[in-house]
Structure 1
Amino acid sequence: MNVHFIAIGGSAMHNLALALQHKGYQVSGSDDTIFEPSKSRLDAKGLLPQAFGWYPEKITPNLDAIVLGMHAKADNPELLKAQDLGLKIYSYPEFLYEQSKHKTRVVIGGSHGKTTITSMILHVMHYHDRDVDYMVGAQLEGFDIMVKLTDDNDFIVLEGDEYLSSPIDRRPKFHLYKPNIALLSGIAWDHINVFPTYENYVEQFSIFVNSIVVGGSINYNEEDPEVKRIVEDSPNAIRKLAYQTPDYRVENGQTLLATPEGDLPIEIFGKHNLNNLAGAKWICQHMGIDEDDFYEAISTFKGASKRLEKIAETKLSVAFKDFAHSPSKVEATTNAVKEQYADRTVIACLELHTYSSLNAQFLKEYKGTLDAADVAVVFYSPHAVEIKKLEEVTHEQIANAFERDDLIIYTNPADFKSYLFDQNFKDKALLLMSSGNYGGLDFEELTKFLKKKEA
């Protein structure tokens, strides 16, 4: 099969391209810019475009399929050529469904936790040498790529993103997978540039539940009232199986999970992660892993990349990096670190980086989200607000939104870096939450600094 990717450089797109090449397909692609690590990974497999840009001459009748990425625009020259030729054009999720329509599709949905839950499931499967197809939104330890597709595996595990499918298909990705087995972890308003009201956003999850194939099943977090309402009100003829946070305790900085065989030390921590673990256990049991085998495997799970990822630890200090940016994720992550390190000063640094977080109207959703931190710092770039063509966000608006009198606010990357590097981190826990990099912060440099500080 001969497949061409329009916007091959995206995180998801380049992983699908690599997976198809590994499967034996002929793969080509274009993009107007490609960043690391996509660039090096494509180059290593001979898939990096010789020149950046869009080249309609690459679109020929011998192509079996076009995969269209979100980075492309609706008037992309290659897309227009493909439409003129009548070629089959797939969005990313459409193509994944096409590749998995004869498999048992396991789809993990939710505003938060879906990457971690998907990662937990894949870790357990890998630990027990169970080969499955998958698509996950983070790089996992022990996995070379974030997408795997075969002809033989019975199961495929898909992270069900609610963002749009392509520039010409405005449906959320997870509406297209038609799960046999599904999970819904939680709902918290996000992507306000696409879903301008809370009600409109919630509706997408209702559509997801109703898209589960008749006779299928959904595991749902009954501690989230919106999730509970949507699932239990759905007329879909599916099995509905609730889960909740299991019993656990924290002792001397170690989280112990209550199991039928006694307390189990685990690497991950925080109530939200224990809730994620409960959901992952259900799904693994659907996939043939018994409870004892699940606990054995999950005790070695260290987390998904950028999800409470420990970047430095000494005898007296610890530092974490987390992708958290939406209000619910910020609150859950900050609470988790304070619970785990109750005897340390927690410094929580949040970068407002996404379209939603830089929207003046949305800022009020952050009220109280940093309350668990002993020291709360917010960084945002006025330049990023300009680039996104949003209304100016002021220092005062941010201070009012978080409702915290001692909130520290930075808008200059150099000032924020100086703040971090001037800290004495003895008996402290540093938490860096962002989907960006604080205007150019070198995390490796910071890690070396933290380790050197105590040496």
Structure 2
Amino acid sequence: MRIHFIAIGGSAMHSLAIALTQKDYQVTGSDDAIFEPSKSRLKKFGLLPDRMGWYEDNITSDLDAVILGMHAKADNPELLKAKELGIKIFSYPEFLYEQAKDKTRVVIGGSHGKTSITSMILHVMKYHDKEIDYMVGAALEGIDNPVHLTQENDFIVIEGDEYLSSPIDRRPKFHLYQPNIALLSGIAWDHINVFPTYENYVEQFRIFIDSIVNGGILVYNEEDAEVKKLAEETENPIRKHPYQTPEYHTDGDHTILDVPEGELPLEIFGKHNLNNLAGAKWICQHMGIDEDDFYEAIATFKGASKRLEKLAENNSSIIFKDFAHSPSKVSATTAAVKEQFSEKKLIACLELHTFSSLNAEFLKEYRDSLEKADEALVFYSPEAIAAKKLDPVSADQIMEAFSKEGLRVFVTAEEFKKELHNLKLENSVLLMMSSGNYGGLDMEEVKAMI
């Protein structure tokens, strides 16, 4: 097949393009800007466009399909040309479903924990040499490409994102996969630019549960009240398997899982990660991995990329970087680090970077999310707020929203960087949380602080 990607530079889009190339598809693509690491990876596989921009002549009648990424707009000239020629147009999830429709589809959904749970499952499968297809939203140790597609594998594991499918398809991605086996980890309001009310957001997860095929399986986190309610209320004829955080304890800087055979030391830590582990175990068991084999494999799991990634460590101090940005993730990550390193001072730094986090009305959702930190710093850019055409937000509004005693708020990258380098890090953990880069902060310089 000949496939053209409109907006090939996206993190998921370029990974799918590479996966199809590895499956011997003929792939081309276009974009108006491509950044690292997408750029280098596309170049390695001969997929980097010769020119940046959108050009009608990229779309020819011999194409079998076009895959449209979210970065493109509805009036994209290549999209309009494809429509004119009658070429089949897929969103990313639509095309992924086409690749997976004859397989057992395992879809991991939820506002938080999706990437970690999917990564745990893939780690266990790889550890036991079980070949499966997959799509995960992060780079994993030992896995070359976050998307892997074959003709022969029976299972495909998909990280089920609730964000929109494409500029012309406003359905959440995870509505399109029709899972045979699904997991729902938790619900915490996010993406308010798309789902303006909490009720509207929750409704997307109700639809997800209803999309599970008849006789399928739902594995769900019963500690999340909203998830439990949806699971119990559904009339979809499916089997349901609730899970909860397993028994564990900490010993110094180590987390120990209490298993039937005794104590199992883990490489990961934090209650939220142990909860994720319990969900991953159920899924792996439904995929043919027994409990003992799961525990043997998960003991060597070190975490997904950008999720509590250790940047630096010396005898008294540690620096972590984490992708956390939504209120529930910030709260869970901060609590996890404080629980694991209770004898150290926790200095938590958060960048408000996303559309939701910079919305004046949504800010109140962050109340008490930094409560476990001994010191807390928040950085945001008024320019970013203006660029997103949002109402201005003041430092006082942020102070009031977080309700954190001693919170320091910074509105310029220079001020934040200066304060960061003035921190006293003896016997401390520095936790850097952001989906951005703090206005261009060099993480190599941060590493060198200890």
TM-score normalised per structure 1: 0.98
Q: Could you tell me how far apart the structure 2 residues matched to 1:132 and 1:443 are?
A: 35
- Aligned partner of residue 429 in structure 1, secondary structure: strand
How far does the alpha carbon of each residue in 1:38-80 deviate from its partner, in whole angstroms, 9 at most, with x for none? 0011011110000000011111111001000000000000000
Q: Could you tell me how far apart the structure 2 residues matched to 1:268 and 1:416 are?
A: 29
Question: Residue 183 of structure 2 aligns with which residue?
Answer: 183
Structure 2 matches for 1:333-412, cutoff 5 A? 333-412=333-412
Tell me the percent identity. Answer: 70
Q: Could you tell me how far apart the structure 2 residues matched to 1:439 and 1:267 are?
A: 31
- Aligned partner of residue 43 in structure 2, secondary structure: helix
Q: Could you tell me how far apart the structure 2 residues matched to 1:425 and 1:398 are?
A: 25
1:162 alignment partner AA: E
Question: Residue 243 of structure 2 aligns with which residue?
Answer: 243
1:173 alignment partner AA: K
Question: Residue 86 of structure 1 aligns with which residue?
Answer: 86
- Aligned partner of residue 53 in structure 2, secondary structure: coil
- Aligned partner of residue 84 in structure 1, secondary structure: helix
Structure 2 matches for 1:155-174, cutoff 5 A? 155-174=155-174
- Aligned partner of residue 209 in structure 1, secondary structure: helix
2:148 counterpart of 1:148: yes
Structure 2 matches for 1:37-186, cutoff 5 A? 37-186=37-186
Query: Offset of 1:386 from its aligned partner?
Result: 0.8
Question: Residue 288 of structure 2 aligns with which residue?
Answer: 288
Question: Residue 28 of structure 1 aligns with which residue?
Answer: 28
How far does the alpha carbon of each residue in 1:83-115 deviate from its partner, in whole angstroms, 9 at most, with x for none? 001110000000000000000000000000000
- Aligned partner of residue 249 in structure 2, secondary structure: strand
Q: Could you tell me how far apart the structure 2 residues matched to 1:294 and 1:313 are?
A: 30
2:420 counterpart of 1:420: yes
Query: Offset of 1:421 from its aligned partner?
Result: 1.5
Q: Could you tell me how far apart the structure 2 residues matched to 1:74 and 1:64 are?
A: 20
Question: Residue 231 of structure 1 aligns with which residue?
Answer: 231
2:433 alignment partner AA: M
Cα RMSD for the two superposed structures: 0.6
1:142 alignment partner AA: G
Query: Offset of 1:424 from its aligned partner?
Result: 2.4
Question: Residue 319 of structure 1 aligns with which residue?
Answer: 319
Question: Residue 2 of structure 1 aligns with which residue?
Answer: 2
Q: Could you tell me how far apart the structure 1 residues matched to 2:289 and 2:433 are?
A: 34
- Aligned partner of residue 429 in structure 2, secondary structure: strand
- Aligned partner of residue 75 in structure 2, secondary structure: coil
Question: Residue 274 of structure 1 aligns with which residue?
Answer: 274
Q: Could you tell me how far apart the structure 1 residues matched to 2:322 and 2:200 are?
A: 28
1:340 alignment partner AA: Q
- Aligned partner of residue 350 in structure 1, secondary structure: strand
How far does the alpha carbon of each residue in 1:218-262 deviate from its partner, in whole angstroms, 9 at most, with x for none? 000000000000011000000011000000001111100010111
Query: Offset of 1:419 from its aligned partner?
Result: 1.4
Q: Could you tell me how far apart the structure 2 residues matched to 1:326 and 1:8 are?
A: 27
Q: Could you tell me how far apart the structure 1 residues matched to 2:341 and 2:287 are?
A: 35
Unaligned residue ranges in structure 2 (runs of 5+): none
Q: Could you tell me how far apart the structure 1 residues matched to 2:47 and 2:337 are?
A: 41
Query: Offset of 1:420 from its aligned partner?
Result: 1.6
Q: Could you tell me how far apart the structure 2 residues matched to 1:267 and 1:442 are?
A: 27
Query: Offset of 1:445 from its aligned partner?
Result: 2.2
Q: Could you tell me how far apart the structure 2 residues matched to 1:405 and 1:227 are?
A: 32
1:366 alignment partner AA: Y
Query: Offset of 1:446 from its aligned partner?
Result: 1.3
- Aligned partner of residue 153 in structure 1, secondary structure: coil
Question: Residue 444 of structure 1 aligns with which residue?
Answer: 444
Q: Could you tell me how far apart the structure 2 residues matched to 1:168 and 1:377 are?
A: 39
1:258 alignment partner AA: D
- Aligned partner of residue 446 in structure 1, secondary structure: helix
Question: Residue 309 of structure 2 aligns with which residue?
Answer: 309
Q: Could you tell me how far apart the structure 2 residues matched to 1:5 and 1:30 are?
A: 6
- Aligned partner of residue 98 in structure 1, secondary structure: helix
Q: Could you tell me how far apart the structure 2 residues matched to 1:384 and 1:231 are?
A: 38
Query: Offset of 1:415 from its aligned partner?
Result: 1.4
How far does the alpha carbon of each residue in 1:10-56 deviate from its partner, in whole angstroms, 9 at most, with x for none? 00000000000000000000000000000011011110000000011
How far does the alpha carbon of each residue in 1:192-241 deviate from its partner, in whole angstroms, 9 at most, with x for none? 00000000000000000000000100000000000000011000000011
2:359 alignment partner AA: N
Q: Could you tell me how far apart the structure 1 residues matched to 2:391 and 2:322 are?
A: 27
Unaligned residue ranges in structure 1 (runs of 5+): none
Runs of 4+, deviation exceeding 3 Å: none
1:69 alignment partner AA: G
Q: Could you tell me how far apart the structure 2 residues matched to 1:138 and 1:4 are?
A: 23
Question: Residue 193 of structure 1 aligns with which residue?
Answer: 193
TM-score normalised per structure 2: 0.99
Question: Residue 260 of structure 1 aligns with which residue?
Answer: 260
Q: Could you tell me how far apart the structure 2 residues matched to 1:312 and 1:212 are?
A: 43
Q: Could you tell me how far apart the structure 2 residues matched to 1:436 and 1:262 are?
A: 41
Question: Residue 19 of structure 1 aligns with which residue?
Answer: 19
